[in-house]
């Protein structure tokens, strides 16, 4: 069939084609007069705008559209009204339709029309619907910026946002905090419940973080189990520490995943711009170091960045290298702390505690090397050594004295554990009833069924099981109902402050002992140091005590000698009463009075005050400023003064630094130091006093006090 071509002169046919094109919504046409008002618009386009064509005639074209200037992803160079008034050609300009409750986008094009004399007559143009294309572009853009699993910002977006924030804040002299988080024991959930359960857990963690942070900051998932939080205009370390504690507490609550119970934790590192870094790389590096320190401190903790952490990271790497050598060179030793029966003071068991005497650095604390061992998977080999050695040593003890050995969560999840225990018993000849395995609640993470199966296998060997650090983790009566524990160990945090008025610890301990008695389990209170604590624990029904009030952990040789002399009773020794915790320090600090700086030594430190030495005869009521280094300035008043020693009361209390120490809420700003003549940079280690308003300015008055050289007084 041959179709005759359309005659260009046939206006009727041309109009029909245009009408069909417009009605099919493939595109529309519009025209304006010289004032920018519509003189024509396709009828189908008008209906899209919620009106009839005639109703739009005479309206300004620009009034029909909204150009999103706040949309950072759509950067229109000029508003539509400007382009029209400039009489420029318009080519595929995206505009949003001014229709309430819907997101509709058009692309418009148009050319200015001139008469024979060059006078502007208006525009003639076209339009088409690009909503679907735009949504596709937005989806692609979102995928590039957001984590598909949790919906949080991804690493790319967080880096971009942090860089933009720090650049703007540097110009405005504002602060910004950065939190780095990763999940403790997340791998165990993945390994026991599978990756789909791990993905669900990450979603729930993201939801909890969003509830805590809210609009305070932006949260991102960097990948794996790593999260980041940007907190604009936050530099108060007291508030940041409180926020970190809430994050740790909330993330550590149990999760329900497909009918299984999962328990994880988190560690948090915090760095603050401009104090710890001015640009993205510097600030992220500082927060990473703080996170590394938090994990090394035992996990479930937060740390602020300080210049000392760089040395700590190097030491940690060195510990990892040396720990491997220590295993081969037999540098690790087992010491034993007695567990004493209340009333008789007779030893019934001894807990095996690992000690490491480094050939060059001396004794290295377990708090330093055990976390390294856990991260590097050396903990399984170390745990096997501890089990073998403890059984060999206990076999030399008389009677039925038991030995208690700690089993890490990593070691507990190993299918080889029953074999390792069986072999240690066989090699040593120790009666299985004399071996007690101490296990923390973290073994219940993930697959509780597997944990109970492991308990069953161990009990078949004839060994005893103890639940260690009860009350500090994720305590559940279900553990005590289902797991075959022979003993509960009350964590020392419940012993601290036990004898103080208005302290609830005694009620908690009473409840635990009553529960244990009903379940026919023994109770041990750990970390007992004072005689008044010992007496009250006895009154509360605690049947066994462990702590410095009886003995520290001692060598095997000392035990063998003691037992050979039939000494099975330990007499309590220690302070009569528990004293509130005081942090004894020996730290050189600066003391500023008026425009003079003195050197002094800090002897002790609390949240509310300190004792310093080095200035002679300072009157009561004198106001001083302590320079504690790294920009920490503390205003203090002298409340006690004797010769070269002063007791000070702080104007503002110190806050926890997350590492068992104290720090100031605020620090002197690098912006203030720059204004006084120092280069703008993150705070360096050490002190840098501003005297007379300028770095290094000469004092204008004579010193009020005499400085004492303490080194010559000793």
pLDDT of 316 reads 75
Nearest Cα neighbor of 544 from 296, 334, 340 is 340
pLDDT of 212 reads 95
Q: Which of 108, 137, 166 is the last residue of a domain?
A: 137
Q: Place 379 in a pLDDT band, splitting at 50, 70 and 90.
A: confident
pLDDT of 446 reads 53
Quickly count: other Cβ atoms within 10 Å of residue 307's Cβ.
16
Same domain, yes or no, for 298 and 354? no
- Contact 385/399 with Cβ under 8 angstroms? no
Same domain, yes or no, for 644 and 518? no
Residue 448 belongs to a domain:
yes
Same domain, yes or no, for 535 and 596? no
What is the token pair recorded at 320?
Answer: 């990892």
DSSP letter string, 388-435:
HHHHHHHTTS-TT-EEEEEE-HHHHT-TTHHHHHHHHHHHHT--GGGE
343: left (phi over 0), alpha (psi -120 to 50) or beta: left
Provide the CATH number for the domain around residue 38: 3.30.450.20
Same domain, yes or no, for 254 and 395? no
Residue 111 belongs to a domain:
yes
Residue 572 belongs to a domain:
no
- Contact 601/614 with Cβ under 8 angstroms? yes
392-419: per-residue pLDDT in tens? 999 999 989 999 999 988 888 888 999 9
The whole-chain average pLDDT of the chain stands at: 85
CA distance 651 to 628: 15
Residue 312 belongs to a domain:
no
Q: Are strands 522-525 and 544-545 parallel, antiparallel or unpaired?
A: parallel
Provide the CATH number for the domain around residue 545: 3.20.20.450
Residue 564 is inside which H or E element, if any? helix 556-564
Task: Give the residue-averaged pLDDT of 667-676.
Answer: 88
Same domain, yes or no, for 172 and 283? yes
Number of H helices and number of E strands within the chain? Answer: 21, 34
- Contact 45/22 with Cβ under 8 angstroms? yes
Nearest Cα neighbor of 146 from 218, 75, 247 is 218
Task: Give the residue-averaged pLDDT of 494-512.
Answer: 83
Question: Could you tell me which residues are beta bridge partners of residue 587?
Answer: 602
Same domain, yes or no, for 502 and 371? yes
Task: Give the residue-averaged pLDDT of 36-41.
Answer: 89
Provide the CATH number for the domain around residue 656: 2.40.10
Q: Place 28 in a pLDDT band, splitting at 50, 70 and 90.
A: confident
Same domain, yes or no, for 669 and 693? yes
58-83: per-residue pLDDT in tens? 888 888 877 554 444 444 334 667 77
Residue 82 belongs to a domain:
yes
Q: Quick one: CA dihedral 666, 671, 674, 675, positive or negative? A: negative
Residue 189 belongs to a domain:
yes
Task: Please tell me the total count of domains within the chain.
Answer: 4
Same domain, yes or no, for 464 and 545? yes
Q: Determine the longest span between alpha carbons in the chain, in angstroms.
A: 126
257-290: per-residue pLDDT in tens? 888 888 888 999 999 999 999 999 999 999 999 9
CA distance 536 to 509: 10
Is the per-residue pLDDT at 296 higher than 80?
Answer: no
Q: Which of 245, 273, 307 is the last residue of a domain?
A: 307
Q: Which of 104, 137, 170 is the last residue of a domain?
A: 137
Same domain, yes or no, for 103 and 33? yes
Is the per-residue pLDDT at 609 higher than 50?
Answer: yes
Task: Give the residue-averaged pLDDT of 512-535.
Answer: 90
pLDDT of 585 reads 65
Residue 444 belongs to a domain:
yes
Q: For residue 115, what are the domain limits?
A: 11-137
Q: Which residue has the tokens 């002679």?
A: 616
Q: What are phi and psi of 429, to 5 degrees?
A: 75, 15
pLDDT of 76 reads 39
Provide the CATH number for the domain around residue 216: 3.30.70.270
pLDDT of 69 reads 43
pLDDT of 193 reads 81
228-247: per-residue pLDDT in tens? 999 999 999 999 999 999 99
DSSP letter string, 442-454:
GGGSS-HHHHHHH
Same domain, yes or no, for 394 and 498? yes
Same domain, yes or no, for 301 and 167? yes
Same domain, yes or no, for 130 and 152? no
Is the per-residue pLDDT at 312 higher than 80?
Answer: no
Q: Of 47-56, 487-496, 686-695, which gets the smallest average pLDDT?
A: 686-695
What is the token pair recorded at 429?
Answer: 């000849």
Q: Place 54 in a pLDDT band, splitting at 50, 70 and 90.
A: confident
Residue 575 belongs to a domain:
no
């Amino acid at each position: 069939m041959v179709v005759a071509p359309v005659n260009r002169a046939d206006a009727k046919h041309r109009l029909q084609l245009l009408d069909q094109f417009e009605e099919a919504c493939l595109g529309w046409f519009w025209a304006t007069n010289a004032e920018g008002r519509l003189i024509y618009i396709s009828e189908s386009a008008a209906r899209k705008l919620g009106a009839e064509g005639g109703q739009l005639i005479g309206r300004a074209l620009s009034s029909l559209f909204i150009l999103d200037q706040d949309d950072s992803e759509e950067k229109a160079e000029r508003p539509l009204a400007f382009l029209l008034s400039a009489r420029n050609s318009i080519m595929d300009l995206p505009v949003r339709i001014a229709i309430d409750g819907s997101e509709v986008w058009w692309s418009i094009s148009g050319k200015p029309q001139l008469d024979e004399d060059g006078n502007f007559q208006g525009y003639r143009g076209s339009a088409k619907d690009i909503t679907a294309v735009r949504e596709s572009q937005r989806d692609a853009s979102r995928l590039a910026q957001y984590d598909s699993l949790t919906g949080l910002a991804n690493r790319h977006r967080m880096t971009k946002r942090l860089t933009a924030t720090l650049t703007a804040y540097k110009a405005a002299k504002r602060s910004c905090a950065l939190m780095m988080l990763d999940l403790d024991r997340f791998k165990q959930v993945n390994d026991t419940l599978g990756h789909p359960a791990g993905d669900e857990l990450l979603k729930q963690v993201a939801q909890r973080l969003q509830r805590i942070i809210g609009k305070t900051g932006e949260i991102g998932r960097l990948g794996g189990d790593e999260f980041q939080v940007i907190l604009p205009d936050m530099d108060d370390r007291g508030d940041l520490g409180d926020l970190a504690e809430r994050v740790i507490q909330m993330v550590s609550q149990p999760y329900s995943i497909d009918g299984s119970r999962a328990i994880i934790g988190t560690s948090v590192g915090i760095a603050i711009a401009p104090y710890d870094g001015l640009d993205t790389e510097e600030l992220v590096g500082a927060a990473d170091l703080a996170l590394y320190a938090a994990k090394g401190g035992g996990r479930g903790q937060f740390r602020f960045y300080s210049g000392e952490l760089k040395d700590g990271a190097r030491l940690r790497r060195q510990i990892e290298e040396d720990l491997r050598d220590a295993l081969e060179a037999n540098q690790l030793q087992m010491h034993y702390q007695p567990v004493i029966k209340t009333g008789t003071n007779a030893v019934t068991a001894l807990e095996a505690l690992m000690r490491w005497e480094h050939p060059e650095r001396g004794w290295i604390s377990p708090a330093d090397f055990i976390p390294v061992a856990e991260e590097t998977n050396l903990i399984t080999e170390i745990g096997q050594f501890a089990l073998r050695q403890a059984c060999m040593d206990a076999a030399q003890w008389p009677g039925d004295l038991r030995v208690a050995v700690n089993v890490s969560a990593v070691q507990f999840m190993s299918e080889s554990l029953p074999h390792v225990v069986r072999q240690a018993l066989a090699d040593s000849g120790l009666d299985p009833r004399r071996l007690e395995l101490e296990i923390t609640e973290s073994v219940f993470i993930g697959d509780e069924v597997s944990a109970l199966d492991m308990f069953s296998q161990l009990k078949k060997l004839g060994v005893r099981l103890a639940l260690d650090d009860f009350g500090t983790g994720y305590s559940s009566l279900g553990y005590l109902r289902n797991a075959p524990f022979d003993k509960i160990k009350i964590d020392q945090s419940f012993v601290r402050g036990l004898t103080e008025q208005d302290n609830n610890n005694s009620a908690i301990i009473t409840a635990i002992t009553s529960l244990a008695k009903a379940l026919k389990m023994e109770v041990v209170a750990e970390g007992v140091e004072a005689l008044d604590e010992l007496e009250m624990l006895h009154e509360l029904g605690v049947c066994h005590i462990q702590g410095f009030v009886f003995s520290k952990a001692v060598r095997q040789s000392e035990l063998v000698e003691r037992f050979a002399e039939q000494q099975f009773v330990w007499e309590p020794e220690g302070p009569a009463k528990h004293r509130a915790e005081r942090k004894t320090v020996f730290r050189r600090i600066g003391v500023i009075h008026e425009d003079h700086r003195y050197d002094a030594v800090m002897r002790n430190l609390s949240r509310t005050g300190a004792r310093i030495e080095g200035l002679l005869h300072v009157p009561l009521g004198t106001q001083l400023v302590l320079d504690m280094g790294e920009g920490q300035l503390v205003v203090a008043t002298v409340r006690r003064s004797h010769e070269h020693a002063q007791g000070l009361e702080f104007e503002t209390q110190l806050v926890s630094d997350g590492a068992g120490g104290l720090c100031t809420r605020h620090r002197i700003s690098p912006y203030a130091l720059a204004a006084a003549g120092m280069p703008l940079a993150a705070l360096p280690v050490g002190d840098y006093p501003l005297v007379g308003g300028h770095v290094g300015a000469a004092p204008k008055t004579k010193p009020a006090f005499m400085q004492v050289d303490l080194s010559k007084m000793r």
